[in-house]
Amino acid sequence: MPSPIRILTAVPICDGHDSAINTINLEFIRHGIEVIYLGYHRSVGDIVRAAIQEDVRAIGISSYNGGHIEFFAAVVDLLRKKGADDIKVFGGGGGTITHDDAARMRRKGVDEIFFAGTSLDDMVKFVHQRYGKPRTRRPRPRSFDQELAHNLSKIEEAYGIGSRKRRTSNAQRPTQNRQKHRTSKVIGFTGPGGAGKTTLIDELALRFLHRNPKGRIAILSHDPSVVGEGALLGDRATMINSQDDRVFMRSMATRGQAGGLSPATHDCLASLAQSNFDYVIIETVGTGQEAMPFQKNGIVDSTVLVMNPDYGSRLQLQKIVMLDLADIVVVNKSDLQRARTAHTEIEQRLEQNHRDQQLVDTVAKRHRDSGVDRLFELISK
């Protein structure tokens, strides 16, 4: 079975109309498409950077606030300038984009504009027909990021859905003797869904960018595939600070694998770890109590477990395997009433392990949170 089609969707800058795109995203993923959703109020630069890093087949733009002729054209032009014109552009804007506008936009290189009244079925059909065939001849990458992105695509495509590993000869194999080639520090983030992992990583990225004016980081983020279908990869919409030229971000769907990662994760992570980033951060999907996602990878240098203060009874803590394994445990949302109790209970739980595990309280949603500062220092050590 071939890999799902990956597309990026976004709403242009100064436009908050996300109701249509939310509906369309859900329809796409129900029909086997993997959607990387960038969110609303997004600049041309953010959209093109994300599209190249994610190496999507196409960008779908939903615009309701005017200025669409300029905006779509700017996206097409920037893709071209970056040598990424095999990434196509389509979109719509209800009644705000007239037929005349659409004709002009097509002339400027936009594949298709959908008008008010187009059924969701027709849009899905369009994406499958137009972007469903495998890309055979890729243009020569013009930048480091583009080459890396192409390479990650090759790795991911070498794994079919639901099948075990297929041949990965074209893809870069992780080297056995990894220490020799390693230049990056790899940090794994895991924890239950809704604990705030994504926001926390984005806040750490912001601190990194401030601290290291020339450094670069990579983020490998995971979201679950809908059973037998596509996936909504929405972390970029939350990670506002990570939309930066010095951050290379890649979103992956789990494609049927349990445990919080994708079948291709190991190889992709190995490839990123050898690519001269200062840090590579890997984020699992929200995990259950028994999960230990980084065990077999062996590439991860240090692991962070992000907890929500609402984990249930004290007994539940005994069952969370990662509490034994994590190097750092974070109690996020520590402004919640439950957080003090959570801190005490987790502290006691960690003492049983007799390891030098760190416990940090954070409020990731708060700007300049001192807990996140402390976590950043621990990781930077």
**170 touches other proteins (CB under 8 A):** no
Which residue from 38, 34, 333, 358 is spatially nearest to 187, judged by alpha carbons?
A: 358
* Binder of other proteins out of 96, 118, 172, 297 (CB under 8 A): 96
**Measured between alpha carbons, how far is 318 from 196 in angstroms, rounded to an integer?**
22
Regarding 124 and contact with other proteins (CB under 8 A), the answer is no
Query: Which of 164, 180, 368, 381 lies at the binding interface for other proteins (CB under 8 A)?
Result: 368
Q: b/e per residue, 9-36, with b = 16+ CB within 10 A?
A: bbbbbebebbebbeebbebbbebbbbbb
Give the nearer residue to other proteins in terms of CB position, either 281 or 299. Answer: 281
Residues 286-345 interacting with other proteins (rule: CB under 8 A): none
Residue 70 or 377 with smaller CB distance to other proteins: 70
Residue 237 in contact with other proteins, rule: CB under 8 A: yes
- Taking CB under 8 A as the rule, does residue 109 contact other proteins? no
DSSP count for the chain of H helices, then E strands? 14, 13
- Is residue 23 near other proteins by the rule CB under 8 A? yes
DSSP bridge partners of 7: 35, 58
DSSP string computed for 150-198 = HHHHHHHHHSPSSS-----SSSPPPPSSHHHH--SEEEEEE-STTS-HH
> Does residue 35 interact with other proteins by CB under 8 A?
no
Query: How does DSSP assign 202-236, residue by residue?
Result: HHHHHHHHHH-TT--EEEEEEEPPPTTS-EEE-HH
3-state secondary structure of 286: coil
Gap between the Cα atoms of 346 and 330, Å rounded: 10
Nearer to other proteins, 172 or 241 (CB): 241
Residues 181-220 that bind other proteins (CB under 8 A): 199, 202
Nearest approach, Cβ of residue 23 and other proteins (Å): 6
Q: Would you count residue 370 as binding other proteins (CB under 8 A)? A: no
**Residue (232 or 269) nearer to other proteins, CB:** 232
68 belongs to the binding site for other proteins (CB under 8 A): yes
Residues that bind other proteins (CB under 8 A): 12-19, 22-23, 37, 39-41, 43-45, 65-71, 74, 94-96, 98-99, 116-117, 119, 199, 202, 234, 237-238, 240-241, 365-368
